[in-house]
A and B are shown apart, each in its own frame.
Chain A
Amino acid sequence: MKKFDGLNYYEILKIPMTSSYFEIKRAYKDALSLYNEDSIVTYSLFSNEERDKIIEDIKNAFSTLTDDQRRAAYDRMLVDSGQVETSIPSREKQDSSSPLSSTHASVNENHLYSRVKDKLLTKDVKALSDEILLKERLSGDDLKKLRNAVGVKITEIQYITKISASVLKAIEENRFEELPPDTYLRSFLRSYAKVLQINPQKIIDGYLKTISLSKKTNDSDPK
């Protein structure tokens, strides 16, 4: 019987090297439930020592891959030791190819905040933000409209809030199924609202209402 010998952390969790935090977390939960001692699939396959070793490997994989610094060092080690092709750090490549790290490394937060403040004082933008804040439900389109009105780029929000551009886009494009669990989403929306200097609670409540409504309609969909 093969164990985890010779498998790297990504292989242990069965995920690609480009996986995001959420993918790693999901894979970790799946692996734990598959190898726990109550799993009817594996309970008879391993001795207690073997199982303990396997669970330990899974936990090490998770703790390493969810720590950015340790993950980077681990990736480097995999490349340097020839265990993976040098082309792997597509995750890093993604980051560096996005305009964020190179051109926007110099986003000046203070400058951005004062710029947004000025914009919000102009008549048109004020009218728009008031109109949006009055709504009971807020969609990604509302957020995007407001962001464009105050002249902030997605990459700037990404730089300040450290929320990945793909999540920000998913929020604005109402791709609810791609969004993280509510707890994270709330904090993302709060950060987003802070950059735009509008009432975070209104944004969170309005957006979550839209999501729950869309879930309800999907559930009641006869298909």
Chain B
Amino acid sequence: MAEIYPIGGGKGGVGKSFITASLGVLLAKWGKKVVLIDLDLGAPNLHTLLGMKSPKIGLNSFLNKTVKNLESAAVPTMIPNLFLISSFHCYMEIANLFYAQKLKIIDAIKKLPFDYILLDLGPGTNFNTLDFFLTSKKGILICTPEPTSIENSFRFIKTVYFRKLKQMMKKNTFDSVFKDPSSDLNGSRINPPDIIETVLKYDPGKEAFLRNTLSEFKFKLIFNQFRNNVDATLGAQFENICNRHFYSIFQFLGNISYDSRIHDAIFSKILYIHKYPHTQSAADLKKIATQMMSKIPSASFAKDML
């Protein structure tokens, strides 16, 4: 069974694509068969980070059936074992994917014969991003150690919950009040935090079901662009708060140190992790990739599960 890791988080520019590419390279170098899927539809650039010009085959080939399945849409990269499914050649309006196409993609992703499948998601919280994020129960949230970014991560988690809730309501009968949960809540559209509580309040019979479903998620957190002057315990605090106040399990995977050479590498279309394997940032990325490979939860993770 492939391990699927959707990589998202509220804000743009926090390094989702960079981290996706770097983790992919590391896992592939360690002998795993890895595919990266660029699901930042409408603004794909994972191929550039991997030093590729414009892959001819990609998600478009799968959608217009020029290849027989999604696996055939994966093209090799300069790193052995590492493949890319690009959305570079998709038609201009791909960002507004039809619902049926989206389901088709998600369904095909789950069947891909790889060891690791990393999904590079777009910023924000539109339905496509959320649904791709919900492809697996172990989404990775990337943020920078800044108030705005952390704030957006919370919003992202809440929106994921909200989306999951709506999916569930389609399949399960909830109290009619909640056929459209947003309608009942004052200003919930701008401020989605208490959707779960509201459901629990009006339809308490569903509480256990709801909590169980949400508790199956094991989200992972990464701080990117971490500078020395930032409180080193921030990640632990973030993990602690999420585990306490949300309904799922959160694991902080680590900080990735800021390095201006990362920008330089992106500018010159060079794979940073490949070019500078001995920097602090590379070491941080390796630590995170190791944790993704180990089936044993880290110490802090186990502690919080108690």
Contact B196 A1 (CB under 8 A): yes
Contact B150 A40 (CB under 8 A): yes
A87 at the interface (CB under 8 A from B): no
Contact A41 B245 (CB under 8 A): no
Contact of A42 among B145, B146, B241 (CB under 8 A): B241
Known: A1-B246, A2-B246. A41 touches B241 (CB 8 A): yes
Contact B196 A40 (CB under 8 A): no
What chain A residues lie within 8 Å of B245 (beta carbons)? 1-3, 45
Count residues on chain A whose CB falls below 8 Å from chain B CBs: 12
What chain A residues lie within 8 Å of B147 (beta carbons)? 40, 43-44
What chain B residues lie within 8 Å of A3 (beta carbons)? 245
What chain A residues lie within 8 Å of B237 (beta carbons)? 34, 39, 41
Contact B247 A45 (CB under 8 A): no
Contact A40 B197 (CB under 8 A): no
Could you mark each residue 31-60 of chain A with 1 if its beta carbon is under 8 Å from any beta carbon of chain B, else 0?
000100001111111000000000000000
B258 at the interface (CB under 8 A from A): no
B263 at the interface (CB under 8 A from A): no
What chain B residues lie within 8 Å of A40 (beta carbons)? 145-147, 150, 234
A-B contact number at CB 8 A = 37
Bound-complex Cα distance A44 to B11 (A): 15
Within 8 A of A (CB), among B233-273: 234, 237-238, 240-241, 244-247
What chain B residues lie within 8 Å of A42 (beta carbons)? 241
Bound-complex Cα distance A43 to B194 (A): 17
Contact A34 B240 (CB under 8 A): yes
Bound-complex Cα distance A3 to B240 (A): 13
What is the minimal beta-carbon distance from A36 to any residue of chain B, in angstroms? 12
What is the minimal beta-carbon distance from B125 to any residue of chain A, in angstroms? 15
What is the minimal beta-carbon distance from B242 to any residue of chain A, in angstroms? 9
Could you mark each residue 74-105 of chain B with 1 if its beta carbon is under 8 Å from any beta carbon of chain A, else 0?
00000000000000000000000000000000
Contact of A45 among B145, B154, B196 (CB under 8 A): B154
B151 at the interface (CB under 8 A from A): yes
Bound-complex Cα distance A3 to B244 (A): 8
Q: In the complex, what residue of chain A is closest to B237 when comparing beta carbons?
A: A41
B193 at the interface (CB under 8 A from A): yes
* Interfacial residues, chain A to chain B (CB-CB below 8 A): 1-3, 14, 34, 39-45
Known interface pairs A1-B158, A41-B237; 17 further A-B residue pairs with C-beta atoms within 8 A, sorted by A's residue number: A1-B193, A1-B197, A2-B244, A3-B245, A14-B240, A34-B241, A39-B237, A40-B150, A40-B234, A41-B150, A41-B234, A41-B241, A43-B151, A44-B147, A44-B150, A45-B154, A45-B241
Q: List 8 A-B contacts (CB under 8 A).
A: A1-B245, A2-B247, A3-B245, A34-B241, A39-B237, A40-B146, A41-B234, A43-B147
* Interfacial residues, chain B to chain A (CB-CB below 8 A): 145-147, 150-151, 154, 158, 193-194, 196-197, 234, 237-238, 240-241, 244-247
The 6 closest A-B pairs by CB, nearest first: A44-B151, A40-B147, A41-B237, A1-B245, A2-B245, A1-B193
